[in-house]
């Protein structure tokens, strides 16, 4: 594993730069493992870099939360701002596809599509409940 944070950061930035040298989409958005392998040298090295970056972000986030909790009595405003940011939820569900291939955009139709899906997944032949 890479121990040098700057080296990991540099490799992550190189992996997400397009052919013209401009910041591009992430590799998940590009959807091509061949591009990852071509830019980083090997898929194993890329996975190692991604894991190191995730660990780095996780530790930084934990440190921020620790400092907020430690300083809550002296700095309530920053603590509650952080809590409010975490409470934000996404209310809407995007358009869904029926099994027939039709796109459903109305809320009631989305509820029916999701219900049909969950009924098919969570009921079994030996279940006493009927769909």
Q: Residue 33: what pLDDT?
A: 64
Q: Residue 3: what pLDDT?
A: 54
Chunked mean pLDDT (size 10), the chain, 131 residues: 62 57 50 65 80 93 93 91 83 85 90 88 62 47
Q: Residue 73: what pLDDT?
A: 92
Q: What is the pTM of this model?
A: 0.42
d(CA 123, CA 131): 7
Q: Degrees (nearest 5) of the Cα angle 48, 61, 67? A: 145
Q: Residue 32: what pLDDT?
A: 61
């Amino acid at each position: 594993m890479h121990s040098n944070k700057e080296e990991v950061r540099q490799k992550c930035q190189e992996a997400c730069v397009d052919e013209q040298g401009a910041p591009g989409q992430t590799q998940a958005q590009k959807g091509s493992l061949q591009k990852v392998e071509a830019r980083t040298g090997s898929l194993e090295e890329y996975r190692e870099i991604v894991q190191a970056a995730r660990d780095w972000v996780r530790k930084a986030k934990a440190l921020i939360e620790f400092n907020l909790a430690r300083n809550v009595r002296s700095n309530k405003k920053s603590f509650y701002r952080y809590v409010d940011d975490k409470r934000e939820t996404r209310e809407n569900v995007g358009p869904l596809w029926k099994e027939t291939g039709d796109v459903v955009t109305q809320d009631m139709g989305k509820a029916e599509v999701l219900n049909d899906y969950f009924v098919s997944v969570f009921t079994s032949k030996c279940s006493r409940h009927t769909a």
